[in-house]
Amino acid sequence: MKGETDRPCAFRSIATMATALFLMVSGGYAQKKITYEDDILPIFESACLNCHNADKKKGDLDLSNFSGIMAGGAGGSVADPGEGEASILYGTVAHTIEPFMPPRGDKLSKKDADLIRDWITGGMLENKSSKAKKSSGPKIAKLDVDPSAKPEGPPPMPEHLNLEPAVTSTRNTVVNDMACSPWAPLLAITGQKQILLYNTDTLQLAAILPFPEGFPETLSFHPTGKYLTAGGGIPGKSGSTYTWDITSGKMLMSNGREFDSVLAASLRLDLGGVALGGPSRLIKLWDTQTGDEIKAIKKHTDWVTALSYSPDGVLLTTGDRNGGVWVWEAGTGNEFHSLRGHTGGITALSWRADSNIVGTASEDGQVIFWEMNNGGQVKKFTAHGGGALSLDYARTGEFVTSGRNLEVKICKSDFTLKKSLTGFSEMVVETAITHDGARVFTADWNGVIEAWDANTFEKLGQLSGNPPRIADRIFVLQQDLEAAHRATSAARTALQAAEREVSDAESALSEATTLIADQKKKVSTLEKEVARFALALSETNASLNTVGKAIREKRSPALTQAQRRSQEHEASIASAAAEIQTITITPLEETEKKLTQELQQLKEAAEAEPEDAALKKKAADAALMLSEHQSRIAETRLKLTQAEARLATLQKLTTAIASNESKASLQLQQSNEQLQTLSGSRSEILTNMAETKALLAAANKQLALRQSALKKAEERLQSKKNSRAGPAAELQKALSFEKELKEKLKFWQAAKVNARALVITEKRDSLKAEQEQETRTLESKTREHGNSQSSLNSLQDRKEALIAQLEELNAEMASLKQSIADRKPLLEEAERESKDLQKRYLELSAKVAAGIDP
């Protein structure tokens, strides 16, 4: 019995030794765990902790404790479990990534650097009792940005991303969410298992981001515009959030492990946290650096339908299907405000760019704007009867809403209505407004997405929420291009015919213009002749007036005056001659003789009779009479002398006066002759001018006829040009359309090549990553092989003894196996007996329990 009792112990001993031998031979001793406390910290203490300790933390990195390494530095994570070769920590100490560490002093030995790499690859164990950590997947470095400042450089836009849809279907589906970039002309739209990015300026598809699992339900841009976060999943099964860099299209991280679809999600300003919500009624906060859920807020009484971090990253607003709205501290998740005012489910919420006001839209039809100081209502109005379905803010402060009343409202920053868009056939379930407030986008229940000018309110076009495959686009574009080319050829032929008609009209116009020019030249020559005649006539009339005036005012008066003077002179001569004729001296002389004789006689008588007084008196009177008579004779003689002298004087002037009269007469005659000559010239000028005017009138008449012909030619040319405008416009339209199609075809052919290149690049990167992983694995296995080989070499001396012992053990094992085989029937029989006894025991127990005597 003792031998049988010892056999199991011997068997266990043999098994243990066999296992040990197997391990030693096949892989050497079990690999030693590389831990932070035992292996890595001593390296850091000797080379790194002068700068990277709890007090200094250069680069915000503390290597003096395990939690410090896991927290990373100012630039984010320095190592991700399982990715030793690619880690920043290994790269900097191995001098494959700058900045090289340590910055001064000797480089770490290859042994120490490889040990750090292997520690990271092995899961970054803190101590021997730790379990290896798994990589949390892609991470994103935290940011420190001014939320009010525009990011440096051009606004982030997709750069040559894939435009091949992940899914296509025969019909549109409802759009779950839309969002506009806060800085760039970019619109994100939820699609079927994909997210569509459109350029809001050109309405051109800019990128398609495949949604990893299920359907996207919610979208939000990061305040910098560089990142896009989407949430969604498979209803009732799973849900997550995903964040992309929209310039590269690279998915940066995934957060959340929900058991239902995520209905609302938002990325914090510093990129350090993601908030999500959905049917679970919980608000879950995830740390993007560790990939861990850090808090679950249980406050909502129904599905969480909307949430968003404030642009400054300070607050988080959430809303549920029961009308509940809360504001939380973004960093801690502590309650900040409870906003009460809605009686229907929250359908949307949107922050104003300054983070001071948040707006909420509800199924109760109300849109309420809340200020964050006290949580009070700034503005509340009934926006849409039947329920408000969407709300979106622009950076300008303008916002847009939609509702079940088939209406979209664009409002100013002071909450007054700017324009109400109506005429929708289906209710608009989602709206978005560009960062500058210039354009509004609407999506209705049937998945029709339209673009509107927010200032003119003109519809600009439609966007597809279900874009076709690139190959289908190219096929359709090629067919359209062929049709467009035919239309262009037809339009060109029509234009050529119109051009010929215009050319003929231009030739006719040119001929008419030449005739007009010749006629105008003739008219100009005649006008110059008429002008010359008019000038000559004017000069002649002036001369006539001058001569006539001279005749009237000078020559005729001078002649008249000369003639009058001559007449007066002749009259004066005649008067003087007549006066001389009237003066007779002889009778006076005879009278004087008679009086002298009478006086002598009286004197003699008086002398004879001296006493005779009467006689003396008569003699005195006679003497007096004689004296008087002599005086009269003297006067008459003087008068006669004067008259004769005057007559002589007049007679002397007669020649001069006659000469003056002759001269005046001659001058008048000459002036009359000149006047006659000028009158003749004037008549000749008038005749010539009349003839020239007649010719000018005829020329002007001809010119008018030719101008009329010219006008008709111009009108015909204009008519032909107008007629040509139609074919020209049609050709231009056809050429523009053909050019547009060619550009689209080139674009989509390039997109096809780009999509293929992206697939190949992704495959290459995947293969490269696999190769790098396999290379790292090979290096690790090579090191293991080296260690095993060393162990094996160290065991060579014990090999023969162990083999002998193994043979002995094998013999014992064979004996034990035989003993077991011999015991097996006995064991089986005992097993059957045990089962029979157990069955019998159960039957008896049942009878006892039933009160039956066994």
CA angle 498, 501, 505 (to 5 degrees): 135
DSSP output for 158-216: --S---S-S---SS------EEE-SSSSEEEEE-SSEEEEEETTT--EEEEEE-SSSEE
CA distance to 235, 501, 506, 705, per residue, from 713 (Å): 77, 12, 8, 12
Cβ count within 10 A of residue 749: 15
**Amino acid letter, 728:** A
pLDDT of residue 16: 41
**Amino acid letter, 772:** E
CA distance to 65, 174, 325, 394, per residue, from 410 (Å): 56, 22, 24, 11
Distance separating alpha carbons of residues 493 and 421, to the nearest angstrom: 44
Q: Using a pLDDT cut of 90, give the percent of the chain over it.
A: 46
Q: Looking at the chain, which residues constitute the CATH 2.130.10.10 domain(s)?
A: 178-467
pLDDT tens profile 577-588: 887 888 777 887
CA distance to 240, 591, 609, 619, 735, per residue, from 598 (Å): 188, 10, 16, 8, 155
Q: Are 89 and 155 in contact (CB under 8 A)?
A: no
Give the residues of the chain that fall short of pLDDT 70.
1-32, 75, 132-141, 770, 772-774, 776-777, 779-781, 783-784, 786-788, 790-792, 794-795, 797-798, 827, 830-831, 833-854
Q: Are 21 and 792 in contact (CB under 8 A)?
A: no
Give the closest residue to 348 by CA, choosing from 304, 310, 408, 382: 304
pLDDT of residue 17: 43
Q: Are 647 and 570 in contact (CB under 8 A)?
A: no
Cβ count within 10 A of residue 617: 12
The residues near 27 (Cβ < 8 Å, ≥ 6 apart) are: 784, 788
pLDDT of residue 792: 65
The residues near 155 (Cβ < 8 Å, ≥ 6 apart) are: 181, 183, 184, 185, 186, 225
CATH, domain 508-746, list 3.90.1690, 3.10.350, 1.10.287, 3.90.75: 1.10.287
User: In what side-by-side order are the strands of the sheet with 449-453?
Assistant: 428-433, 439-444, 449-453, 459-463
DSSP output for 589-651: HHHHHHHHHHHHHHHHHHHHSTT-HHHHHHHHHHHHHHHHHHHHHHHHHHHHHHHHHHHHHHH
Q: Using a pLDDT cut of 70, give the percent of the chain over it.
A: 89
The residues near 405 (Cβ < 8 Å, ≥ 6 apart) are: 384, 385, 386, 427
Helix, strand or coil for residue 488? Answer: helix
Q: Looking at the chain, which residues constitute the CATH 1.10.287 domain(s)?
A: 508-746
Q: Note the CATH number of domain 178-467.
A: 2.130.10.10
pLDDT tens profile 218-263: 999 999 999 999 999 999 999 999 999 999 999 999 999 899 999 9
499: which 2 tokens? Answer: 């051009």
